Amino acid sequence: MAGRKQWWALAVLVLPVLLISVDMTVLGFALPFLSEDLAPTGAEQLWIVDIYSFMLAGLLVLMGTLGDRIGRRKLLLMGAAAFGAASVLAAFSTSAFMLIIARALLGVGGATLMPSTLSLIRSIFVDAKQRRIAIAVWSAGFSGGMALGPVLGGWLLEHFWWGSVFLINVPVMLVLLIVGPFVLPEARDPKPGRFDPLSALLSLAAMLPVVYGIKLVAEHGFTVKATVSVLIGLGLGVVFVRRQNSLDEPMLDLKLFSNRAFSGSVVTNMLGVFAMVGLLFLVPQYLQLVLGLSPVVAALWMLPATVAGIAGALLAAWLAKRIRVSLLVSGGLLVAAVGFLALTQVSSGGGLAYVVVAFTLLGGGVALSETLTNDLVISAAPAERAGAASAISETGFELGGALGTAILGSVATAVYRSGLPEGTAESARDTLGGAVATAHQLDPAAGQALLESAREAFTQGMHVTAWAGVAVLVYTGVQAFVLLDRKKIPQCGADPAYHEGMNNHALVTRLREQLGDAAVLTDTDVTDAYSRDMMPLAASGKPLAVVLPSDVEGVQAVVKACAEFEVPIVPRGAGSGLSGAANAIDGCVVLVLTKLDQIVEIDEGNRLAVVQPGVVNLDFRNAVEKHGLFYPPDPSSYDWCTIGGNLSTNAGGLCCVKYGVTTDSVLGLEVVLADGSVLKTGRRTVKGVAGYDLARLFVGSEGTLGVITQATVALKPLPQLPSTLVAAFNSTEAAGEAVARVVREGLVPSLMEIMDATSIKAAEAYLKTDLGTSSDCKALLLAQSDSGGEVARKELAVLEQICVDCGADLAYATEDLEEGKMLLQARRVVLTALEMYGVWLTDDVCVPRTRIAELIAGCERISEEVGLRIAVVGHAGDGNMHPTIVYAHDSEEEFARARVAFDAILDVALSLGGTVTGEHGIGRIKREWLAKEIGEVGIQVHRQIKRALDPGNLFNPGSMFSL
């Protein structure tokens, strides 16, 4: 959760946004003054206004992806410096040309500031609700700037020279530059891929002609020049898109658009702005030139709209907790449409009240919906692509604005012209301002007549534009309702959906009727305890209810009811998982299986058992041990994790090297499917090949395909008591070589663990003992044999010899059980020992056993880069390593660095030919990494299987991969 520092960071991030919107509105006021001073030509004046938005629109995408690469904070600070410097240049410009250059630089700075601020909010506020509030404040800052601009501009221009409207940027940028490095964390894409300069060039080359062409349309209608310009831009846009699709590491991740929440939100934003912007230009003219208000009075009448805008943005976060987001977004747009409707009632004789009401509805409605769509845009994209995602959204925003000005502006002008009487002077036909100026030069009667017809024609133009706005907003509202309907959007955001199920009392009542009150928990103090697992990186939501059935019929009832109410289910065992796979999403039902806790059968003759999912691993092991049998999977959490959780994550443990992971013990499963039917799959025999191996499909499926209600598992004869070997090495390479030789020579110890120097030191400090290693000991190998007697002695002797041959400083074997336990204790206490230095975040990768030393070296390098302690322990026998990152529990900044390290370790593992998870699973923290590891075809097959078994995306949506 965000603390005080994060809210300060937000305050700092709102500053540039506020300024950008002040700048957008203030220039119009300054133009007459600077025109007097610098005497720009007509064309130069246009460039002074337009170059800013050209640069902004052209560079947003590039800057967004650049931020993901070089770091968003770094880019933001660079942008702030550029913006400040360009402001000084603009303020002291001595010629129109110089001012155009300064405005271009301001555009470059603006392009770095906008996407960086939004994407930093994404990385700072990991909690969905807090982030929504943060985005609301950010949006409110933007609306506030719009209102502040005219008032501040008016005041400044009254007291100072025109340059002062630019100079106000400087102190704000200085605050950002000074405070920013302290309160803003750095965030970037840990695997940004190669930067493609051609793509960067193409994105700029495509946007500029489009925006230029649209501006030409706005000024002169559909001329050849304008059309050619737009076509060139579109053509280059196609080349850009093709290039992105052909690159392995594209600059713009077009796959983002396959997410409906993302693309729906971008389109909604774009159309919302399209409708709004046309009128933003017309209404101030109406107030001043038709109703005859002074600029400052006109600006003051706009204040209620600003207040409504700020309120709409802030209310969005609160409302989203209670009402479905698609309803809110379309509701906001429809309220705005009503605002446009009110504008159709104004007349050239009066209508101030209508304008104020209309703008208040418009401001509030659009702010409400755009705050939510902005949140959807950045939460739908993976965290590391936040910069690119928000840049796409901003570009859509800019494009919508440009198109709105061009198309609606042209329509208004055309209606205005056609409403003027024949023979009206050309100067009056251009603009209403022109008509007012012309009227002053005519005799009073003719002047008055011209004024009246020009005002009437202008009002007609405004009516037509307002009707167009109504049409666009109603369409956008309906479209948003359909596109953003959560039930139809696959849950693929990094974060859970909105609280859409929160009011689903009917479902709760149904569940209570069927399972009894005691089995359905809704008290949030209690349900919170079931809302997440042990992985601090993963976000979690608020469940509608936690349900604890005690038999398979109860599970079926829950599944059927949730399917009917379209409420997602998150199955859960003990919640010891380390991937966020059991984390609740907002409004879901958490289905806890711990009450299905019977060991149904232990068949000594066939060495198998039938067990329910809620049985704790250690209880099961102890139970079968009484029959002289052994259940091998032994995760370190075995004293509290459940068999159901182990099956669903395909858990491993210390003895995997000899006995394999959970799936190697599974014979058959009973699973409740998405329609509530019960699938019994697998067998009780040693062999059997009938049909697809469906049992193994569900093993490791992390609760995304069905609910496991029973398992038939194979058991082994109880092994002999273990003998233990410890070997110390002064280099990880030597230890790695020893592991490789053990594998090469076909030895299969029952356990082989490795500890690096950091974990050895932590264990020694914690146990307050010297493990007998020298101070330059870099790695410790621990191995066991459970073959017993002479066989075990021989196995350990060969192992010991290999270690010595590979340069071990110390190699010591013992048959003494207690001594063996003490030696293993060093390995077992590492995580607890690391808590002396802070909180830990454990990664889970698996590399080929010959490359363990390289992985450890990679972790050492990453540790130096991020400045955090990383201890590596792992199951050397199977290459499954757990690099564990330690960070200060109260430091968001260290947490962010830990996250960077976490991803960097995954990257190293993949580059060594390894996998991103050996036993903890994908869950909610490694979804992008699954895609990277198994590729597009692999992900598609996953999706097809998921759709076939769970067409309603009922089970654990958004975990493991997105649909």
Ligand X SMILES: Cc1cc2nc3c(=O)[nH]c(=O)nc-3n(C[C@H](O)[C@H](O)[C@H](O)COP(=O)(O)OP(=O)(O)OC[C@H]3O[C@@H](n4cnc5c(N)ncnc54)[C@H](O)[C@@H]3O)c2cc1C
Alpha-carbon torsion (330, 331, 332, 338), positive or negative: positive
Altogether, the residues listed in the chain come to a count of 963
CA 826 – CA 899 distance, rounded (Å) = 27
Task: CB nearer to ligand X: give 169 or 540.
Answer: 540
Q: Residue 678 CB, nearest distance to ligand X (Å)?
A: 13
The tally of CA atoms less than 13 A away on the side-chain side of residue 22 is 23
Task: CB nearer to ligand X: give 78 or 616.
Answer: 616
Partners of 779 in the β-ladder: 729, 756
Q: Residue 801 CB, nearest distance to ligand X (Å)?
A: 29
Task: CB nearer to ligand X: give 568 or 635.
Answer: 635
Task: CB nearer to ligand X: give 303 or 534.
Answer: 534
CA 159 – CA 389 distance, rounded (Å) = 42
Q: Residue 933 CB, nearest distance to ligand X (Å)?
A: 18
Task: CB nearer to ligand X: give 415 or 707.
Answer: 707
Is residue 885 helix, strand or coil?
A: strand
Question: How far from 832 is each of 342, 629, 773, 841, CA to CA, in Å?
Answer: 66, 31, 21, 12
Task: CB nearer to ligand X: give 894 or 919.
Answer: 919
Task: CB nearer to ligand X: give 562 or 651.
Answer: 651
Task: CB nearer to ligand X: give 649 or 759.
Answer: 649
> Which one-letter DSSP state was computed for residue 703?
T
Residue 404 structure tokens: 């709105």
Q: Residue 862 CB, nearest distance to ligand X (Å)?
A: 22
Q: ∠ at Cα 107 (106, 110), nearest 5°?
A: 85
- Residue 372's Cβ-count burial label (10 Å; 0-12, 13-18, 19+) is buried
515: closest CA among 554, 474, 553? 554
Q: Residue 571 CB, nearest distance to ligand X (Å)?
A: 4
Task: CB nearer to ligand X: give 342 or 538.
Answer: 538
Q: Residue 596 CB, nearest distance to ligand X (Å)?
A: 8
Q: Residue 928 CB, nearest distance to ligand X (Å)?
A: 18
For ligand X, the nearest residue by Cβ is 645
The β-bridge relationship of strands 716-717 and 629-630 is: antiparallel
Task: CB nearer to ligand X: give 741 or 924.
Answer: 924
DSSP 577-641: -SSSTT---TT-EEEE-TT---EEEEETTTTEEEE-TTSBHHHHHHHHHTTTEE-----TTTTT-
Task: CB nearer to ligand X: give 211 or 567.
Answer: 567
Q: Taking the CA atoms of the chain, what radius of gyration do you get in angstroms?
A: 33
Q: Residue 703 CB, nearest distance to ligand X (Å)?
A: 3
Task: CB nearer to ligand X: give 265 or 649.
Answer: 649
Percent helix, strand, coil in the chain, to 5, is 60, 10, 30
Q: Residue 757 CB, nearest distance to ligand X (Å)?
A: 22
Q: Residue 652 CB, nearest distance to ligand X (Å)?
A: 5
Residue 547 structure tokens: 């349900």
The tally of CA atoms less than 13 A away on the side-chain side of residue 242 is 7
Q: What residues have CB less than 8 Å from 25, skipping those under 6 apart?
A: 145, 146, 149, 150, 153
Q: ∠ at Cα 629 (624, 634), nearest 5°?
A: 75
Task: CB nearer to ligand X: give 778 or 849.
Answer: 849
- Residue 224's Cβ-count burial label (10 Å; 0-12, 13-18, 19+) is exposed
CA 400 – CA 275 distance, rounded (Å) = 8
Q: Residue 303 CB, nearest distance to ligand X (Å)?
A: 51
553: closest CA among 519, 580, 504? 519
820: closest CA among 727, 724, 754, 750? 724
Task: CB nearer to ligand X: give 218 or 666.
Answer: 666
Task: CB nearer to ligand X: give 124 or 651.
Answer: 651
DSSP 322-374: TS-HHHHHHHHHHHHHHHHHHHTT-BTTB-HHHHHHHHHHHHHHHHHHHHHHH
Task: CB nearer to ligand X: give 105 or 641.
Answer: 641
Where do contacts with ligand X occur on this chain (CB under 6 A)? Answer: 533-534, 570-578, 581-582, 593, 613, 635-637, 641-642, 644-646, 648-649, 651-653, 702-703, 707-708, 831, 919-920, 956
Q: Residue 923 CB, nearest distance to ligand X (Å)?
A: 7
Q: Residue 218 CB, nearest distance to ligand X (Å)?
A: 54
CA 668 – CA 683 distance, rounded (Å) = 5
Q: Residue 778 CB, nearest distance to ligand X (Å)?
A: 24
Q: Which helix (H) or strand (E) holds 51?
A: helix 42-70
Is residue 238 helix, strand or coil?
A: helix
Q: Which helix (H) or strand (E) holds 569?
A: strand 569-572
Is residue 888 helix, strand or coil?
A: coil
> Which one-letter DSSP state was computed for residue 652?
-
Task: CB nearer to ligand X: give 358 or 643.
Answer: 643
377: closest CA among 388, 365, 367? 388
Residue 956 structure tokens: 């654990």
Q: Residue 516 CB, nearest distance to ligand X (Å)?
A: 20
Q: Residue 942 CB, nearest distance to ligand X (Å)?
A: 15
> Which one-letter DSSP state was computed for residue 890?
T
Task: CB nearer to ligand X: give 146 or 898.
Answer: 898
Q: Residue 669 CB, nearest distance to ligand X (Å)?
A: 9
Is residue 676 helix, strand or coil?
A: coil
CA 874 – CA 854 distance, rounded (Å) = 14
Q: Residue 653 CB, nearest distance to ligand X (Å)?
A: 5
Residue 241 has a CB neighbour count (10 Å cut-off) of 15
CA 56 – CA 63 distance, rounded (Å) = 10
